[in-house]
Amino acid sequence: MTTIENGSGTRELAGKRALVTGGSRGIGAAIVRQLLDAGAEVLTTARSATSTVPEGATFVAADVRSRAGAEAVAAAAHETFGGVDILVHNAGGAQFHRSALAIPDEEWQDSLDLNFLASVRLNALLAPGMRDRRSGAIVHVSTAAVVPPAPIVLHYQAAKVALENYSRGLAAELAPSGVRVNTVSPGRTATPGGEATRKKWASLDLGPGATDTPPLGRDGQPDDIAHAVLFFVSDRASWLTGQVLVVDGGEYPRG
Ligand SMILES: NC(=O)c1ccc[n+]([C@@H]2O[C@H](COP(=O)([O-])OP(=O)(O)OC[C@H]3O[C@@H](n4cnc5c(N)ncnc54)[C@H](OP(=O)(O)O)[C@@H]3O)[C@@H](O)[C@H]2O)c1
């Protein structure tokens, strides 16, 4: 276990209550583990529990695509902790299609619900508590691959672009109360979801992109992304809000 301590020898996030969506595997599980290692209490959620939910975290099964799912997660956060100090919106993903026009209506809705509206709803339920306590940190997990536009995943990109813009707007609204809101945008990361996506890309024979190695010479690991999230929720980022940090081995430079 990595122990992250502050200057007085206490773990950096001791006393903090954190909620992470999609913490049963991949990037979310790494975020949960790093938060626990830093001393936070962690509640996490996914549609079903797995053996890869990190030990020490409290788990609640919920589908965050619906208003009812968001309410169940928020209620669990209130019951378990009485509120949260750290909120990480990590659950996300989408299927690829051969063309933008072939993306079915229900998948557009599904993608918007999972990759955008789940965060909007959960924030509406939990961020007012942060605002009232005049402290808190929210991180949205987007994707480095929002540019250039890719027709086969426009439903995913549109939702993540909306999420990044919303994140900046929420940061502006909550800044006067001391609540910080930032975005981490991963590049290709070795997770079950990421691997499945790249396999599907390869099977559609769409050319390079899924098979390129990022300029830094390797794919990301879940911990690479979790480090960035941990930075944003820690006091080391106490003067940072409304930012988007792209963590992608140099693959998607934003001008
Ligand atoms: N890996 C990459 O290369 C990559 C690149 C760019 C961005 N990202 C972003 O990083 C985040 C994490 O990706 P990942 O690769 O770690 O994904 P992953 O391996 O597919 O894991 C996704 C997690 O979210 C949960 N989840 C999915 N749908 C859910 C729902 N409707 N309600 C509640 N939980 C749900 C999953 O559990 P259940 O399935 O049991 O619900 C799982 O715990 C996503 O937002 C993704 O868009 C990943």
| pLDDT tens column, 208-224 | 555 678 999 999 999 99
pLDDT tens for each residue of 92-146: 999 888 899 999 999 999 999 999 999 999 999 999 999 999 999 999 999 999 9
> Average pLDDT, whole number, for the chain?
94
CA of 7 to the centre of ligand 1 (A): 34
Length of the chain in terms of residues written: 255
Query: Whole-angstrom Cα distance, residue 49 to residue 220?
Result: 25
CB-CB contact of 46 with 23 (8 Å): yes
Query: Whole-angstrom Cα distance, residue 125 to residue 77?
Result: 10
Pairwise pLDDT comparison (208 vs 248), residue with the higher score? 248
Is 156 annotated in the active site? yes
**Cα angle: 135, vertex 116, 210; to 5 degrees:** 115
CA of 142 to the centre of ligand 1 (A): 11
**Mean pLDDT, residues 20-24 taken together:** 98
Three-state SS at 61: strand
CATH number of 17-247: 3.40.50.720
**Mean pLDDT, residues 55-75 taken together:** 98
Give the number of other Cβ atoms within 10 Å of residue 204's Cβ: 13
**Mean pLDDT, residues 26-38 taken together:** 98
Structure confidence at residue 200 (pLDDT): 84
Phi, psi of 18, rounded to the nearest 5 degrees:
-120, 145
Ligand 1 contacts (CB < 6 A) are 21-28, 45-48, 63-65, 90-93, 114, 141, 143, 186, 188-189, 191-194
Q: Which two tokens stand for residue 69?
A: 């799912």
**Which atom of ligand 1 has the smallest separation from the CA of 64?**
32
Domain ranges in the chain? 17-247
Query: Which residue pairs from 47-51 have beta carbons closer than 8 angstroms and sit at least 24 positions apart in sequence?
Result: 48/24, 49/24, 50/24, 50/25
Cα 110 to the center of its chain, rounded Å: 17
What one-letter code names the amino acid at 69?
Answer: G
Q: Which two tokens stand for residue 158?
A: 């549109």
Query: pLDDT at residue 3 above 50?
Result: no
pTM: 0.96
